[in-house]
A and B are shown apart, each in its own frame.
Chain A
C-alpha cells in the first residue's frame, strides 16, 4: 500500500505537467486576445502590452517561463485584475470555495448515506419510495432552480436566512467535544472488553464513524454561526446527496445478495449487525468511487452557487477568466483544481483498496 501511494505521488508532477501543457495549448488556441475591449486599442499599445506580458516571445519560451515561475511559486499576474497577482486571487478565493465544498460534501454524505442504507434495508417500503423519489427529484432539478427558489422561500418570503453574504464564524468546541466523546467511548469499551477483546480493525471502523460525527458537528457549528452559508450549502449538496443515496442503495442491494452476507445472516447475526459490519463495507464502494468525480462536480457546481449567492470563491472566477482570456488566471485555477482533484482521487483509491481487500495494488 505504501509503495502504491508513493508511486502515485511520483506520478503527480507528470500528470500536472500534461495538464498544464494541454490547458496552455487550448487557451492560447482560443480566438480573441486578453487586451481587447469595446474601445479599440491602438496597434502600438497592444504591442507594448504583449511585450509587457511576454506574449511576443514564441509559445515554447512563454511556456517554459511560466513553468519556471510556477516552480518558484509565482503564478504570474492577472491580466484582467491589474492590481493583483494570480496567487493573491487564488489565496483569496480558495478558502471560500473549499469551505463551501466541504460543508456541502459533509451534508451530502450524511444525508445521502443514511437515506441509501435505510432505503436498501427497507427495500420497497414507503421510506424507500419516498427517499428515492426525493433523490431522483433532487438529481433532476438544476442547482440554478433550487437556489433561487430556496432564496425566494427562506430569504424573501419568510425572512429566515440572508440572501447572500459570507463572513464565516466558527468555533472548534463542538467538534473537539465529539472527539472527546468518541475517545471516552472507546476507553470505556476497552476497559470493558479488556486487552484480549481489543482489535485494530474494530477501532478503525469506529474511527470512521467518529470522523463522520466530527465532520457533522463541525459543519453544524459553521451553519449555525453563519446562517448565510445554509442556503448555498444546501443548494450545492442536494444533487450530490441524491446521487449518493441512489448509489448507496444500489451498492447495498448488490452486496446484500452476495455470499458473505448470506453467510453472516445464516450464522444468525442480527440484521443490524449484518448491515453495519458486513454489508455497509461492501455497499459503500460505488459511493467511494463516485466521490472523486463528486468533488470535481462540487468544484464546478460551486460556480453556479457562488454566482447566485455572491460568494467570492474561485469557481466564480473561472468562467470569467476563460471568457476574458486571462491566461495566467485560467492556468492558475486549472493547476489548483488539478492538484485538489489528484489528491482527492488518490485518497479515494486508497480508501477503496482499504474497503475492498479483493483489489491488489500491484
Chain B
C-alpha cells in the first residue's frame, strides 16, 4: 500500500517491473531453505554467469526513479521510490531475492524459527560492517527499532513492527506520552551477533518484513551526531552494498560501492545514478535519448508507443485498483445496489480501452502472484443481472435512483477510468452518476471521513501475503474507509492468524475474500496492476518481479551504451 506517493502526484499508472529472461538468471530459484544453518551456504555466485566479457563495459548505471525521495532515513520512508534507494544504502536482517522476492540472508547469516512460528533467532555475520568500518551488531538493530518506534522519528510505517510482541502496545503508550521501555517488547539482544525476536502471532511473512525499509538499521553515532542532517552526503553511514556520494535534490542521487560491505565482491557496478524526473514524457524521452538505461514507469498515453519498442517490459504487480462504496449511506447500504453496480461494469473493456498495458480485470481484491494463493473468481460482467438486481432494490430502469457522485483524485488516467465507469452505469442501469474530482489531500480527507458515495481506491502489497490486502477490511481498521463491518469476516481473519498450516491458512483467507468480493461487496474490484517500464538489454541481473523492487547489488552492465 505504498501508493501514497505515486497516486499523489499526477502520475497515474503503477510502476513497472518483472523478469527478463536471459543471462544472470538464478539457477534453480526457490531453493532457498526457510531456516537453519544451511542458509550459511547460500550460493551468491548463482546470480552471475561465468566470464569476463562484462568488464569491457564501464559500469555506470543510470536510471530514473520517478520522483524525488522524501527522505533517505529508512525508518521514515514510505514509498517504493525510497525503498529502491534504501536497498542500495542499507541492508536488513534479510534481503530479497531479485527474481522471486523470497527472503534470503542479509545481515543475518542464518536464522532459526521455533516450531510454533513465534520465535525467530537471527545469527548476524561477523563481517557485516557499516560504511565507516564499524561492525553491525544486534544492538544496532535494537537501537534502530527503538528509535523507529519513538513518535518523534515520524515513522509512518510503524505498523510493520506490530507482529513483534509488545511493539504495538509500546508504540501506543509512547504516542500517548508515557515513557515505555523497549525492553518490554519481544526484541532481545542475546549477544552482539545474536538477535532473538518473539512475535505475538505466527506471521509467516515476518522474514519478508525483515527486509523491509522500516526495519533496516541506522548508524547510531551518526544519527546522534548530526540529528536531522545525518542523511546528507559525507555524513550518511549505511550498511548496504552502496554508499551515498552525491545528492542533488530533484535532480539525481549518485551512489558508489561501499568498500566495507561484507559481500563487496558481488557488486560489479562502479556507480549508479538515480534520477528524479517526475514528468513521464520527459522520462520516456530521456530513455529514448539513451541518457538512462531503465525507467520504472510509462505514462498512460505513451503505452502504445512504448509497446512497439523492443525494450518495453510489462509484468504483474502486487496491487489492486478498486472502488469503495460508502455502505453507511443510501443507496449503497443495499447490497443489491452494490452488486448491480459491480456487475454492470465491463472491466475487460476498461482494461483494454483506457489502461491498455495488459492489466487484468479483477473480481477479487488479492492480486494474483502470491505463491500458493488462488485467484478469486468473483462476480462476472452481467448487465442483465445487474438490471434485475437494481430493479429488485426498487429502481427499475434506474427510475427514482438518487443523485450519486463518484469521487476520485485528480489524474488523467483515473479520470478516464471513472468516465468509462459512469458511462457504463448510465447505459446499462440507466442511472446518472456525476463525477467529482478533488486533489489528493482533499480526496484522502473525504475518503477517511466517509464523505463520499463511491470513491476510487487502490492498494499495493507490502509483502507477498493475502493478508496485506485483506486485513484492512476488518471492522474499524484505519484503511477500511467504507463503513463496512462484518463479524464473520473479522472472525475469519483472526482464525487465519492462528492457523500454522499455510495451506489451511490460505483457505481461510480465500473464504474471507469471497465474503468480501462476492457476497458483501463494500468494494468494486476493477483491475490488478502491472509493472511496466523500459529496460536496456545490456542491463543484466535485473529481474521482473511482483513487487517492483530491484536490489542493485545484483545488477551489472554488459554492452555499449545506447546512442553512442
Chain A interface residues toward B at CB < 8 A:
30-33, 35-42, 44-45, 47-49, 52, 77, 80-84, 89, 92-93, 148, 151, 155-156, 159, 162-166, 307-310, 312, 316-317, 320, 323-325
Contact partners of A159 in chain B: CB under 8 A: 289, 563
B73, A310: Cβ atoms closer than 8 Å: no
| Closest partner residue, chain A, to B228 (CB atom) | A83
Contact partners of A39 in chain B: CB under 8 A: 1-2, 4, 78, 156-157, 159, 478-479
**Pick from A89, A309, A324: contact of B282, CB under 8 Å:** A309
Q: Within the assembled complex, what's the spacing in Å between the Cα atoms of A317 and B175? A: 32
Task: Contacts A82-B76, A155-B289 given; indicate if A37 touches B8 (C-beta within 8 A).
Answer: yes
Task: Contacts A37-B78, A151-B285 given; indicate if A32 touches B445 (C-beta within 8 A).
Answer: yes
| Closest partner residue, chain B, to A84 (CB atom) | B249
Contact partners of A33 in chain B: CB under 8 A: 441, 445
Chain B interface residues toward A at CB < 8 A:
1-5, 7-9, 68, 70-73, 76, 78, 151-152, 154, 156-159, 172, 175-176, 228-229, 231-232, 248-251, 275-279, 281-282, 285-286, 288-289, 291, 439-442, 444-445, 448, 458, 477-479, 481, 563
**Pick from B175, B249, B442: contact of A31, CB under 8 Å:** B442
| Closest partner residue, chain A, to B168 (CB atom) | A42
Contact partners of B8 in chain A: CB under 8 A: 37-38, 323-324
B71, A83: Cβ atoms closer than 8 Å: yes
Q: Within the assembled complex, what's the spacing in Å between the Cα atoms of A32 and B444? A: 7
A45, B156: Cβ atoms closer than 8 Å: yes
Contact partners of B73 in chain A: CB under 8 A: 82-83
Q: Distance (Å) between the CB of A89 and the closest chain B CB?
A: 7
Task: Contacts A83-B71, A164-B277 given; indicate if A45 touches B444 (C-beta within 8 A).
Answer: no
Chain A facing B: main interface SS: loop
B282, A310: Cβ atoms closer than 8 Å: yes
9 more CB-based (< 8 A) A-B contacts, given A307-B282, A324-B8? A33-B441, A35-B156, A38-B1, A45-B156, A92-B250, A307-B279, A310-B276, A312-B248, A323-B441
Q: Within the assembled complex, what's the spacing in Å between the Cα atoms of A151 and B159? A: 45
| Closest partner residue, chain A, to B77 (CB atom) | A82
Q: Within the assembled complex, what's the spacing in Å between the Cα atoms of A92 and B158? A: 31
Task: Contacts A31-B445, A323-B441 given; indicate if A81 touches B282 (C-beta within 8 A).
Answer: no
| Closest partner residue, chain B, to A82 (CB atom) | B71
Q: Within the assembled complex, what's the spacing in Å between the Cα atoms of A307 and B172? A: 41
Residue with the greatest number of chain B CB neighbours at <10 A, chosen from A31, A35, A308, A325: A31
Contact partners of B3 in chain A: CB under 8 A: 38
A81, B249: Cβ atoms closer than 8 Å: yes
Q: List 30 A-B contacts (CB under 8 A).
A: A32-B442, A32-B444, A33-B441, A35-B156, A36-B448, A37-B444, A38-B1, A38-B2, A38-B458, A39-B1, A39-B78, A40-B477, A44-B172, A47-B175, A48-B152, A81-B71, A82-B70, A92-B248, A148-B281, A162-B289, A163-B291, A164-B286, A165-B291, A166-B251, A307-B282, A308-B281, A310-B275, A316-B250, A320-B9, A323-B8
Q: Distance (Å) between the CB of A247 and the closest chain B CB?
A: 32
Task: Contacts A32-B441, A156-B285, A312-B248 given; indicate if A48 touches B291 (C-beta within 8 A).
Answer: no
A45, B291: Cβ atoms closer than 8 Å: no
Contact partners of B68 in chain A: CB under 8 A: 81
Q: Distance (Å) between the CB of B441 and the closest chain A CB?
A: 3
A36, B445: Cβ atoms closer than 8 Å: yes
A81, B70: Cβ atoms closer than 8 Å: yes
Q: Within the assembled complex, what's the spacing in Å between the Cα atoms of A310 and B251? A: 7
| Closest partner residue, chain B, to A47 (CB atom) | B175
Q: Distance (Å) between the CB of A163 and the closest chain B CB?
A: 5
**Pick from A44, A81, A83, A155: contact of B176, CB under 8 Å:** A44
Q: Within the assembled complex, what's the spacing in Å between the Cα atoms of A37 and B172? A: 20
Q: Within the assembled complex, what's the spacing in Å between the Cα atoms of A48 and B175? A: 6
Q: Distance (Å) between the CB of B317 and the closest chain A CB?
A: 16
Contact partners of A80 in chain B: CB under 8 A: 70
| Closest partner residue, chain B, to A37 (CB atom) | B4
Contact partners of B231 in chain A: CB under 8 A: 83
Q: Within the assembled complex, what's the spacing in Å between the Cα atoms of A31 and B282? A: 31
Residue with the greatest number of chain B CB neighbours at <10 A, chosen from A41, A77, A84: A84
Contact partners of A317 in chain B: CB under 8 A: 250
B70, A40: Cβ atoms closer than 8 Å: no
Task: Contacts A48-B152, A81-B249, A312-B251 given; indicate if A36 touches B441 (C-beta within 8 A).
Answer: yes
Contact partners of A162 in chain B: CB under 8 A: 289, 291
**Pick from A52, A81, A89: contact of B152, CB under 8 Å:** A52
Q: Distance (Å) between the CB of B331 and the closest chain A CB?
A: 26
Q: Top 9 nearest A-B pairs by Cβ distance?
A: A32-B441, A40-B478, A312-B250, A37-B4, A44-B175, A48-B151, A38-B4, A82-B71, A310-B277
Q: Within the assembled complex, what's the spacing in Å between the Cα atoms of A317 and B440? A: 16
**Pick from A38, A163, A316: contact of B286, CB under 8 Å:** A163
Q: Within the assembled complex, what's the spacing in Å between the Cα atoms of A170 and B152? A: 44
Q: Within the assembled complex, what's the spacing in Å between the Cα atoms of A323 and B285? A: 26
| Closest partner residue, chain B, to A34 (CB atom) | B441
Q: Within the assembled complex, what's the spacing in Å between the Cα atoms of A308 and B563? A: 22
**Pick from B175, B282, B481: contact of A164, CB under 8 Å:** B282
Contact partners of B448 in chain A: CB under 8 A: 36, 40
Contact partners of A37 in chain B: CB under 8 A: 4-5, 8, 78, 156, 444
Q: Within the assembled complex, what's the spacing in Å between the Cα atoms of A36 and B78? A: 12
Q: Within the assembled complex, what's the spacing in Å between the Cα atoms of A84 and B69? A: 11
Q: Within the assembled complex, what's the spacing in Å between the Cα atoms of A89 and B479? A: 33
Q: Distance (Å) between the CB of B231 and the closest chain A CB?
A: 5
A31, B251: Cβ atoms closer than 8 Å: no
B4, A310: Cβ atoms closer than 8 Å: no
Q: Within the assembled complex, what's the spacing in Å between the Cα atoms of A228 and B249? A: 18
Q: Distance (Å) between the CB of A301 and the closest chain B CB?
A: 16
Q: Distance (Å) between the CB of B219 and the closest chain A CB?
A: 15
Q: Distance (Å) between the CB of B2 and the closest chain A CB?
A: 8
Q: Distance (Å) between the CB of B98 and the closest chain A CB?
A: 26
Contact partners of A82 in chain B: CB under 8 A: 70-71, 73, 76, 154, 228
Q: Distance (Å) between the CB of B181 and the closest chain A CB?
A: 18
Q: Within the assembled complex, what's the spacing in Å between the Cα atoms of A30 and B445? A: 11
Q: Within the assembled complex, what's the spacing in Å between the Cα atoms of A163 and B283? A: 9
Contact partners of B229 in chain A: CB under 8 A: 83
Contact partners of B275 in chain A: CB under 8 A: 310
Q: Distance (Å) between the CB of B455 and the closest chain A CB?
A: 12
| Closest partner residue, chain A, to B480 (CB atom) | A40
B72, A83: Cβ atoms closer than 8 Å: yes
| Closest partner residue, chain A, to B458 (CB atom) | A38
Residue with the greatest number of chain B CB neighbours at <10 A, chosen from A39, A92, A151, A323: A39
Contact partners of A166 in chain B: CB under 8 A: 251
Q: Within the assembled complex, what's the spacing in Å between the Cα atoms of A30 and B440? A: 12
Q: Within the assembled complex, what's the spacing in Å between the Cα atoms of A41 and B5? A: 15
Q: Within the assembled complex, what's the spacing in Å between the Cα atoms of A309 and B282? A: 7
A45, B151: Cβ atoms closer than 8 Å: yes
Q: Within the assembled complex, what's the spacing in Å between the Cα atoms of A247 and B94? A: 66
B175, A156: Cβ atoms closer than 8 Å: no
Q: Within the assembled complex, what's the spacing in Å between the Cα atoms of A93 and B291? A: 23
Q: Within the assembled complex, what's the spacing in Å between the Cα atoms of A45 and B177? A: 11
Q: Distance (Å) between the CB of A177 and the closest chain B CB?
A: 32
Residue with the greatest number of chain B CB neighbours at <10 A, chosen from A32, A84, A165, A310: A310
A83, B172: Cβ atoms closer than 8 Å: no
| Closest partner residue, chain A, to B174 (CB atom) | A48
**Pick from A49, A307, A310: contact of B154, CB under 8 Å:** A49
Q: Distance (Å) between the CB of A85 and the closest chain B CB?
A: 8
Contact partners of B5 in chain A: CB under 8 A: 37
Contact partners of B285 in chain A: CB under 8 A: 151, 155-156, 163-164
B249, A312: Cβ atoms closer than 8 Å: yes
Q: Distance (Å) between the CB of A133 and the closest chain B CB?
A: 29
| Closest partner residue, chain A, to B8 (CB atom) | A324
Contact partners of A38 in chain B: CB under 8 A: 1-4, 7-8, 444, 458
Q: Distance (Å) between the CB of B216 and the closest chain A CB?
A: 16
A323, B440: Cβ atoms closer than 8 Å: yes
Contact partners of A92 in chain B: CB under 8 A: 248-250
Q: Distance (Å) between the CB of A91 and the closest chain B CB?
A: 10
Q: Distance (Å) between the CB of B81 and the closest chain A CB?
A: 12
